[in-house]
Amino acid sequence: MAFDGRSNESLSQINVTPLVDVMLVLLVIFMVTAPILHQGVSVDLPAVGAAPLTGGEEQLVVSVTESGDVFLNDTKMSAPDLRDKLSAIVRERPDRQVFMRADRDVRYGVVVTVMGAMREAGVRRLGMVTKPAEER
């Protein structure tokens, strides 16, 4: 406790400078890392003229890149690992819908292999993600 020197009363003021310093450092850290966390998997989607679907909960998205890499949301995995992970998810929620994002230049066989793994996992509701067609 600090004493004023003139009386026997203690000063009860909190020094907030260290608190403000820590908060500013945390703010800068979050501002720098936030854009990095939301990059996701880069996929060049094919364009179609269909309207977008709405969803209320966090979506399960399987992405296939041009090089054939498979991701569940942002986690890279092989087709057997994908099957095992989706199988566990479907056991908990059999009505869960899975969305697939495949690069338009990916080989057809890779897409079919991934779709087969999802089917083996018990996924019955599969949505294909595309980008809107450009207006002509």
What are the Cα distances from residue 18, in Å, to 14, 23, 30?
10, 9, 18
Any idea what the CATH number is for the domain that residue 57 is in? 3.30.420.270
Distance CA 105, CA 90 (A): 29
5: left (phi over 0), alpha (psi -120 to 50) or beta: left
pLDDT of residue 26: 92
The number of residues in the chain equals 136
Q: Tell me the residue type at 111.
A: V
Please indicate, yes or no, whether residues 75 and 8 belong to a single structural domain of this protein: no
Query: Do the Cβ atoms of 80 and 46 come closer than 8 Å?
Result: no
Please indicate, yes or no, whether residues 65 and 120 belong to a single structural domain of this protein: yes
pLDDT of residue 130: 77
Q: Residue 1 CB: number of other CB atoms within 10 A?
A: 6
Residue whose structure tokens are 């090089």: 67
pLDDT tens digit at each of 136 positions of the chain: 555 556 666 667 888 888 899 999 999 988 887 766 655 566 666 666 655 555 556 678 888 888 888 888 888 888 888 888 888 888 888 778 888 888 888 888 888 888 888 888 888 888 888 777 664 4
Answer yes or no: is 42 within a domain: no
Containing structural domain, residue 23: 2-37
pLDDT of residue 118: 87
Q: Tell me the residue type at 19.
A: L
Distance CA 20, CA 26 (A): 10
pLDDT of residue 97: 83
Please indicate, yes or no, whether residues 86 and 118 belong to a single structural domain of this protein: yes
